[in-house]
Amino acid sequence: MKPQLEPETDQTVHNGAMKAAQRVLLMESESLSALRRSLNGDFIEAIDRLSAVTGRIIVSGMGKSGHIARKIAATLASTGSTAYFVHPS
C-alpha cells in the first residue's frame, strides 16, 4: 500500500510540477514564435520544389540528422509524396 503524503508535501510537489510545466510551455511558445518569424521565401521555394517533384524524394542523413531525415521522409510519405530515407553509407 502506498503511503499518503502530508497535504503540505502534496501541494509543494504539485506547485513545483505546475511551475515546471509552465516554464516548458513558455519556452516552447517562444521557440515557435521565433520559428514563425524566421520563415521567408526559402521556405516557400522548398515547398514549391517538393510539390513539383514527379518522381521519388530521397532524404538522407547520418546520426542525429539521419533520425530527423527518417521522420521527414515519413512525413512526406504520409502526405502523399513518394519519399524514402536512404542511409548515406
What's the pLDDT score for residue 74? 97
Prediction pTM value? 0.62
Residue 4 pLDDT class (50, 70, 90 cuts): low
Selection from 80, 89, 19 nearest residue 60 by Cα? 89
* pLDDT tens for each residue of 32-66: 999 999 999 999 999 999 999 999 999 999 999 99
- Phi, psi for residue 19 in degrees, rounded to 5: -65, -40
What's the pLDDT score for residue 58? 97
Structure-block grid coordinates of residue 72: 521527414
- Residues 57, 83 contacting (CB under 8 angstroms): yes
